[in-house]
Amino acid sequence: MLFSVPAVNTMSAIQEFDLPARWTSLLQDKYSEAIHNLAKMWPDEGSLEVSYREVEGYDHEFAQDILANPDHHFRAANQALRQFLLDAGEGNLMPFVRIVHLPSDQVRTVSQLRADDIGRLIAIDAVTTKITGVRPRLYTAVFKCAACDHEMEINQPNEQELIEPIECIQIDGGCGRPKRQTRFFLMQQESHLINSQFIELQELPEQMKGGIQPERILCIGEQDLAGRLNPGDRVKANGVLFIRSQRKGGKDTPVFDIFLRIHSLERQNIPLEEIVISEEEETEIKEIARSEDVYDLLTRSIAPSIFGMERIKESLMLQLFGGEAQVNEDGTRNRGDIHILLMGDPGVAKSQLLHYMSTISPRGRFASGQSASAAGLTAAAVQDAAADGRWTLEAGALVLADLGLAAIDEFDKMNTADRSSMHEAMEQQSISISKAGINASLRTRCAVLAAANPTSGRFQPVSDVPFTSQINLAPPLISRFDIIWLLTDTPNEQSDEKIASHIIDNRLKGSSELLVNEGTIPNPAKATSTSKEAKKVDGKYQILPREILRKYVAYSKRTFHPKLDEEAKAKIVAYYVQTRKQGGDSEDSVAITARSLEALSRLAEASARIRLQEVATVEDADRAIRLTKTWRHELMGENFDMTTIESGKKGKVRNQEKVIIDIVSVLQNDSGTAANLLDVLTEAERRDIPRGKAEDIIDKLCRDGRMMRPSGYDTLQVV
């Protein structure tokens, strides 16, 4: 049974009966215009937001009393607001006063909540993980006495219990009969119902200590607060804590569960506002952006412990900053996030790169292969025992990484059914849930950085199968990545020596984890101001400290929204048109598709963001084109063929299949029934397809259902 705990009575001189008058004078002095606007906007606007700072400036003692005795103040404030509207001729409105902007000493994380906070007005910084459906709840109930038809109104402060009259009260004109001598009927039409919803909040990932499961709290949102939050929304929830006894064996125990009755909501998903940047840091960021070697500096700063990979790190740097998402006039949306796939042999530091990127990106999340299901990545509909067995929505990693980066290792090891849910999450950047009567759409506006290994252990360069088909990923999913890097582990004496020296030097520079945990030696990962200075040479950074890089990214993403200028646009269009002219090994080869145009624009916008510019110039377009040419050349050489990626077959193989099908078709038409296998093989040899190869292709075409053997092994027919 839920119940509110009475607030601890303070030594305040303010009496409860004095509160409505105080609130009336405050609302008249400061909020009369806002109240008139509220009356005009009703019922679209259901509440009046009052800033705690304004109240504190008006009367400090009064403001302190709000924190200590919030329930009394909520009742008095609502009463004063409704009386104000009544005097203004707006009698049928039932709005609420919502107090926002609480002082910083009242802000808690979920794991910091203690017994002292119960009954006080506090604010919780958290992310919404689960919501139930919105249900009506009695706010004030009207009961009718069966004996004398007298009606009574009773307030219902508790959402778990219906409070009924004990007797038909004589003072109000009732008959005085107790409950056992009469019956009371609930008058639903005369009663006042409000909307109510259960919301589960989880502490933010940046507030968690390593390795600890994030704590959660169940909250109740009522009136205009119900239905405002979606799973994945970051929010500051102001409210009052109350408790409910834990039950064991049908009995109440002296240990209590904590709940929050939400009073007001602030700050839903303002991009990257959880990262606080001081004026001094802002000046430093602008100074770094103005330097000539800003791109080299940022590239060096990404995973400095990993040797080389300059072009890959450059693309990861652009992914961190990302392009600008665009909303079109017809309501469609073009994503701004850059998706990157790292395909590589084992042991080329893919996982290290992913781990680093997930920690450095604001709102970064890391997930791995089979340990992540579709529900864990996107969203799940779960049946909640706490909410009377109702189905509720629970957010997954991609939803929680909204406006950040999701790093998914062992992407190819995920179940096929789970991977299919990634299509919508990557391109439309939303998740549609249609389960157990829940129809919802959640936002997943995050960049995806995925890593995959070849199915045969290592990549086979000399093969009829393209590299993109040597990993266990469907072609439609691969085509959603803007950049695909191929990382092969090929022996090379010079580079091998450099890599080996770098790895051994790194181990020598590292500190013992055991001693760091014991506190014997300082943690090298936590840079102090002195160590920041130590990283500078001649007053300039050689490698940016992780914290400054995070703040640089957050500042740039929330302040600058670049667009391509005419020259940059012309450059990208010219490259696209020129590349389209190039043919491949086959008639159906396409060198580049329209999807790549958007990828080039995103890369150019990200490049402009690094320099803190609102316009992407030719220089940015050149950088985008150079990176695109590099990864395309490494993946397929000069004759890049998108059809190979989309079909999973090289042009040569597609040509041979087409030739075999043509031969069978012609022979089938000539004979009028089916083609003879020997005739097909003879004709194939005449067209430079070896007998063994032709037999393999025929077997494959029969398995795929494109050809059949109508009268035994020696006959062939095109389906």
Whole-number pLDDT of residue 417:
67
Whole-number pLDDT of residue 203:
82
Contact 405, 447 (CB under 8 A): yes
CA distance readout (Å), 213 to 176, 205, 216, 407: 56, 10, 9, 19
pTM of the model: 0.69
Contact 61, 12 (CB under 8 A): yes
CA distance readout (Å), 131 to 205, 402, 690: 19, 17, 63
To the question of domain 123-266 being in CATH 2.40.50.140, the answer is yes
H-run or E-run covering 196: strand 192-202
Contacts of 674-677 spanning 24+ positions with Cβ under 8 A: 674/710, 674/711, 674/715, 674/716, 674/717, 675/715, 675/716, 675/717, 676/714, 676/715, 676/716, 677/713, 677/714, 677/715, 677/716
Which pLDDT tens digit goes with each residue over 539-581?
677 888 888 888 888 888 888 889 888 999 999 999 888 888 7
Whole-number pLDDT of residue 5:
43
Does residue 261 sit in helix, strand or coil? Answer: strand
Whole-number pLDDT of residue 273:
65
Amino acid (1-letter code) at residue 82:
R
Which pLDDT tens digit goes with each residue over 90-143?
767 778 888 888 888 888 888 888 888 888 888 888 888 888 878 888 888 888
Whole-number pLDDT of residue 584:
54
Amino acid (1-letter code) at residue 555:
Y
Structure tokens at 590: 């396409």
Q: Which residues of 586-604 are buried (b: 16+ CB within 10 A; e: fewer)?
A: beebbbbeeebeebbbbbb
Does residue 120 sit in helix, strand or coil? Answer: coil
Whole-number pLDDT of residue 618:
92
Which pLDDT tens digit goes with each residue over 247-296?
787 787 888 888 888 888 886 656 666 677 888 888 888 888 888 888 88
Contact 152, 142 (CB under 8 A): yes
The low-confidence residues of the chain, meaning pLDDT below 50, are 1-12, 528-534
Domain ranges of the chain: 16-101, 123-266, 651-718
> Please, which residues have CB within 8 angstroms of residue 211's CB and are 6 or more apart in sequence?
none
Whole-number pLDDT of residue 531:
44
Which pLDDT tens digit goes with each residue over 400-458?
777 788 888 888 777 776 667 777 778 888 777 777 666 767 778 888 888 888 877 77
- Other C-beta atoms within 10 Å of 84: how many? 21
To the question of domain 651-718 being in CATH 3.40.630.30, the answer is no
Cis amide leading into 43 (omega within 30): yes
Structure tokens at 634: 């490494």
Whole-number pLDDT of residue 534:
44
The class (CATH top level) of 16-101 is alpha beta
